[in-house]
Amino acid sequence: MCGIAGFIDLWDRRAPRLRDERASILENMCEVIRYRGPDDSGSLLKHGVALGMRRLSIIDLAGGHQPMSGEDGSATVVFNGEIYNFRELYTQLEAHGHKFCTRSDTEAIVHAYEQYGTACVDHLRGMFAFAIWDERNQKLFLARDRAGEKPLYYSLTPSGTLVFGSELKSLLEHPGVRRAASTPAMRNMPVP
């Protein structure tokens, strides 16, 4: 099953939360979804960005640890799902000069991003939700499969932090996420 969680301080990137504070928040966000991935966990903390994941090992049991970076380390991904055409992508991306270190579908995503940018999703067949931190361009790219089979929730806090995760309860572990319903949104809900 797996699960991802994380956040990025969008507005105040010059003075992000202290590293220990970000690490603690991310650990709590991932711990509440531990049951989604009891086999492994991992995190990335840098420049106001926090990426975390819980992994249920299915493909490439030994080499699929996340977060996973590409060849030069400038793109790093956390991923939930399965890419059905990852072997085909390996062949295509190797023809473009990419070098693979694992046999994981996760690595196919990060190399596809290096090759195609955000259009990488056009090359992915499967069920997925992922976050890629692009160090070179200082951008966070979030995506999920077209049918939404793998969930990806997000919230923007009043202080400008984008918080995301595979489950809402991960988001609620971030101190900036409000635990209140949106009255305007409820007014627009259809009544059965």
Could you read off the pLDDT of 45-87 as tens digits, one per residue? Answer: 988 899 999 987 666 566 678 899 998 999 999 999 999 999 9
Helix H segments across the chain?
Answer: 19-31, 86-95, 105-116, 168-171, 183-187
- 120 is an active site residue: no
42 part of a folded domain = yes
Q: Which of 2, 30, 101, 120 is catalytic?
A: 2
Sheet holding 40-46, edge to edge: 40-46, 49-55, 3-9, 161-165, 153-156
184 part of a folded domain = no
103 part of a folded domain = yes
**Would the pTM count as exceeding 0.85?**
yes
Provide the number of structural domains found in the chain: 1
Which tokens is 118 given?
Answer: 């955000």
CATH of the domain at 123: 3.60.20.10
Could you read off the pLDDT of 83-119 as tens digits, one per residue? Answer: 999 999 999 999 999 999 998 999 999 999 999 999 9
183 part of a folded domain = no
For residue 36, the 8-state DSSP code is G
185 part of a folded domain = no
Domain housing 164: 3-176
39 part of a folded domain = yes
Instruction: Return the number of other C-beta atoms located less than 10 Å from residue 132's C-beta.
Output: 25
